[in-house]
């Protein structure tokens, strides 16, 4: 914050320095061949299992988290997750390095991951990597979960894509920016690793570096009047179970003017806010694994999406970690290695063995 106030660096550029310190080279081992390459001109880290295929393989398109501003496929724990998926499931993993904000704002991040997904799903590419076209999934955590959900929705409607996804894996995903006063935002407003103020900054920076949007989002007054129909899709009084609504009272919101939505329409776009998709669109989606954590501002996004998907007829496995917090699955190695992180990853891998 000091660097930004002094005009030295954008807040996110300072945070990205911590990301850079955690990068690892693409190192192959006895189980997996790892290379940095590109697909459709978008950089990716590719993980190919070394053992004999014994038939066609599974595949995962993986999108890292970091609030659309931070993160990298070559961060130590994303590299570790990709290796485990590739080795234990005999799967090809394509971990995508999409453009980040700033300087790139929505829809650049979505366009990059969608471009890679559409390229990879071509029959000749799947054949090149010996991938079974009936066993491909998208996956991501946090902002990456947002991108995975959005990609799954878009692919389901793209007439040029003949291969259908088998599954979507959404790890504590961010799924809407209309209501930033959900019970989970209140309960976890000041908790690490993702306090409300930082999530508001991530959301606003995804669309623009204009502080006007950030200030409006901070007071939950950024949605223009006349958006009531969209807000029904994220109405926590309907979509949260009673035990998660707790004693929270619904607060009437302050409506914003039309100007911010006109200049930065992304927060009303399902490509950025997958919870805004219609029921008909949701009904075409593949089965889902959704992880939510109790101590996470994004808890209610994932819970509501699980409810809406089920209502649309989509098979959903919702794993709620009562002792979990945002980012927990990436605490897998030194300097912070947690049994919780390994437990959550193992549960996800078990689901993939059965469902992919």
The single residue listed with the structure tokens 């593949």 is: 286
Catalytically annotated residue among 95, 142, 184, 204? 142
Indicate if 326 belongs to the active site.
Answer: yes
Concerning whether 142 is annotated as a catalytic residue, the answer is yes
Q: Which among 304, 67, 15, 100 has a CA at the least distance from the CA of 203?
A: 67
d(CA 312, CA 355): 19
Residue in 112, 179, 187, 296 annotated catalytic: 296
Neighbours of 21 (CB within 10 A): 9
Known catalytic membership, residue 79: no
Q: Which residues are catalytic?
A: 142, 296, 326
């Amino acid at each position: 914050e000091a660097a930004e106030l002094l005009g030295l660096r954008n807040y996110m550029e300072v945070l990205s320095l911590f990301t850079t310190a955690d990068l690892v080279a693409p190192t192959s081992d006895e189980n997996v061949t790892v290379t940095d390459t590109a697909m459709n001109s978008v950089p990716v880290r590719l993980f190919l299992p070394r053992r004999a295929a014994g038939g066609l393989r599974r595949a995962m398109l993986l999108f890292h988290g970091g609030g659309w501003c931070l993160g990298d496929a070559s961060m130590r724990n994303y590299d570790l997750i990709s290796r485990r998926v590739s080795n234990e499931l005999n799967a090809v993993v394509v971990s995508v390095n999409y453009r980040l904000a700033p300087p790139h704002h929505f829809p650049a991040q979505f366009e990059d991951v969608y471009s890679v997904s559409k390229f990879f799903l071509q029959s000749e590419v799947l054949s090149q990597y010996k991938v079974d076209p009936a066993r491909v999934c998208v996956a991501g955590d946090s902002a990456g979960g947002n991108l995975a959900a959005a990609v799954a929705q878009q692919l389901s409607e793209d007439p040029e894509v003949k291969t259908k996804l088998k599954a979507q894996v959404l790890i504590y995903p961010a799924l809407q920016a209309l209501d930033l006063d959900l019970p989970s935002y209140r309960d976890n407003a000041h908790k690490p690793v993702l306090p409300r103020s930082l999530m508001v900054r991530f959301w606003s920076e995804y669309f623009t570096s204009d502080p006007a949007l950030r200030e409006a989002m901070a007071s939950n007054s950024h949605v223009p009047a006349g958006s009531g129909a969209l807000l029904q899709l994220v109405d926590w009084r309907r979509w949260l179970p009673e035990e998660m609504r707790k004693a929270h009272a619904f607060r009437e919101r302050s409506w914003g003017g039309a100007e911010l939505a006109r200049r930065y329409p992304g927060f009303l776009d399902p490509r950025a806010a997958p919870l805004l998709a219609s029921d008909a669109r949701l009904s075409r989606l593949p089965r889902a694994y959704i992880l939510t954590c109790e101590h996470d501002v994004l808890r209610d996004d994932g819970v509501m999406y699980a409810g809406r998907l089920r209502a649309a007829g989509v098979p959903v496995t919702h794993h709620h970690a009562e002792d979990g917090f945002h980012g927990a699955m990436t605490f897998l190695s030194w300097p912070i290695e947690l049994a919780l992180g390994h437990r959550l990853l193992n549960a996800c891998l078990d689901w993939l063995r059965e469902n992919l």
